[in-house]
């Protein structure tokens, strides 16, 4: 069921240009902001609120949908939430806009960014818009979609006056298994040696984006690995547009492999 919902959601997000208008979660993020401000004296209040809204709220919606109409109503609700969660902007349309008009606003790409920097932003966007949501949807269902999307969006709303350290820690723990699977899939769909070297380079203390002292090591990785991945798999000599297009092609390879694996799991009965 989940793989079918996922395929439908990806198709709707890709072929429905008006879908982006339904994705903003500003109203829900505003509610979370208010709750955080009211409980400012409570340690890790940002994490408590996000977990409560995502897991309790999302779990309650799932139970209600099952009670009202069984699997069919749950599937429709999951499809709606997943379409909303695969965003807030469409990656393919943002890449097309940059290629056509050199406007990298949707991908946070500056005009003077190199091909490797631009490629890293494509990988980061794919993590935030696709892979993080897909992984937690498969694992937790509707609550998983809300948990990752709200955490990722709240991390973007952090500021010097409100650092939201707990939110960043939560995002770190939500993203590390996704990043590991992205690296494995990239190695299988790309040059294995280049990806391995990127991983090895990331683990070196002097590597750009490597862990600071005191951060988890070993398989505990963070978004900094995407910079090494882009440096490793994107050849030298590309302009910014070429780097974005090639990185976009590579993340689509990863997505297709993920979908194939999920389909196999469905066929063998390991995925509901």
Note whether 144 and 24 are within 8 A (CB): no
Rounded to two decimals, the pTM is: 0.89
Cα–Cα distances in angstroms (integers) from residue 114 to residues 17, 118, 207, 236, in the given order: 29, 6, 18, 10
Quote the CA–CA distance of 133 and 212 in Å, as a whole number: 27
CA nearest to 228, candidates 155, 105, 131, 123: 123
Other beta carbons within 10 angstroms of residue 57's beta carbon come to 15
Q: For all residues of the chain together, what is the average pLDDT?
A: 87
- Determine the pLDDT at residue 187: 93
Helix axes 192-203, 224-233, angle to 10 degrees: 140
Separation between Cα atoms, residue 35 and residue 29, nearest integer Å: 10
Question: Are 87 and 118 spatial neighbours (Cβ–Cβ below 8 Å)?
Answer: no
Determine the length of the chain.
Answer: 272
What is the DSSP-derived secondary structure letter of residue 223?
A: T
What is d(CA 75, CA 65) in angstroms, rounded to the nearest whole number? 9
Model pLDDT for residues 210-229, shown as the tens digit of each residue: 444 334 455 578 888 999 99
Which string of DSSP letters, residue by residue, matches 158-170? --SS---HHHHHH
Q: What is the pLDDT of residue 224?
A: 87
Quick one: DSSP state of residue 52?
Answer: I
Q: Is the dihedral of CA 152, 153, 159, 165 positive or negative?
A: negative
Residue 18 CA to chain centroid, in angstroms?
21
The model's pLDDT over 135-152, given as tens digits with 9 standing for 90+, comes to: 999 999 999 999 999 999
């Amino acid at each position: 069921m989940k793989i079918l919902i996922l395929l439908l959601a990806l198709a709707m997000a890709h072929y429905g240009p008006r879908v982006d208008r339904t994705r903003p979660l500003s109203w829900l993020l505003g509610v979370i902001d208010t709750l955080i401000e009211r409980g400012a004296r409570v340690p890790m209040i940002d994490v408590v609120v996000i977990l409560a809204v995502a897991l309790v709220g999302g779990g309650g919606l799932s139970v209600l949908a099952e009670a009202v109409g069984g699997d069919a109503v749950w599937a429709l609700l999951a499809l709606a939430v997943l379409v909303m969660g695969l965003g807030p902007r469409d990656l393919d349309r943002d890449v097309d806009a940059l290629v056509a008009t050199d406007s990298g606003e949707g991908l946070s790409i500056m005009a003077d960014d190199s091909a490797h920097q631009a490629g890293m932003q494509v990988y980061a966007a794919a993590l935030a818009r696709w892979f993080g949501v897909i992984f937690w949807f498969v694992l937790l269902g509707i609550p998983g979609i809300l948990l990752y999307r709200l955490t990722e969006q709240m991390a973007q709303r952090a500021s010097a006056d409100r650092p939201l350290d707990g939110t960043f820690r939560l995002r770190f723990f939500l993203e590390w298994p996704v990043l590991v699977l992205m690296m494995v899939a990239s190695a299988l769909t790309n040059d294995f040696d280049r990806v391995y070297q990127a991983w090895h380079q990331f683990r070196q203390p002097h590597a750009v984006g490597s862990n600071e002292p005191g951060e988890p090591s070993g398989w505990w990785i963070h978004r900094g690995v995407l910079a090494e991945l882009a440096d490793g798999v994107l050849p030298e000599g590309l302009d910014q547009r070429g780097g974005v297009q090639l990185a976009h092609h590579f993340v689509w390879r990863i997505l297709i492999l993920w979908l194939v694996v999920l389909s196999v799991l469905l066929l063998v009965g390991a995925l509901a």
